[in-house]
Amino acid sequence: MEIFEGRITSAGFDSGHRLVIGDWMKSPLGKFTNVMWARPDGSRVLLSPSIEHANYVSELYNFEEVKIVEMRIKRSRKGLDIRTEEMSVRMTWGASFAIPIWRPLWFISTIEAIFARLFFGTKTFGITRNGRREWYSVRSISRLLTAEAEMGGESLGNKGRFISTACFGFSEPPSIPTSIGLKTYIE
């Protein structure tokens, strides 16, 4: 069982771009951040800090393009700022709705899955692209206060709901711009 502990922060933009940022403090690959980017035309891009990370993530999820990029990351208690050569992203979030205990995997894939689907339109359990089982064990949920992104110096627009799916993997992020503290279990 491989365990990733950190945060997934996601937002759609009125230009049609969608971003899902994985910011992992503990993982089998060490501490790292990656950006899953869905363009308005539906193509999916992975921005990753190394070939090792890119290979691992692209085996789990679907991308048409994978780019190895240098990332400069600034974290605060309620914010994340990422800079690459072609993209800059800044997201901040508000107070968290905390879930005080970690739940067993059977609970996440059954009972919790129902609530995640009803309230957030997401899945907490599924099968990855390469046939592995994956669980999302959510510990806190926060609405984004701000989400700003630029590509080549041009704004991607105002933050908004995911108006169409990103189709990276078995689950979509919540449609509302959100930052989620969690552990991901991959078997």
For 51-84, write each residue's pLDDT tens digit: 999 999 999 999 999 999 999 999 999 999 999 9
Per-domain boundaries in the chain: 2-96+142-177
pLDDT band with cut points at 50, 70 and 90 for residue 141: very high
What is residue 34's three-state secondary structure? strand
Rounded CA gap, 77 and 102, in Å?
21
For 115-125, write each residue's pLDDT tens digit: 988 888 889 99
For 1-30, write each residue's pLDDT tens digit: 999 999 999 999 999 999 999 999 999 999
Q: Name the amino acid, one letter, at 88.
A: S
Rounded CA gap, 165 and 151, in Å?
21
Looking at residue 153, its pLDDT comes to 87
Look at residues 114, 145, 143, 126 and name the one whose alpha carbon lies nearest to residue 184: 126
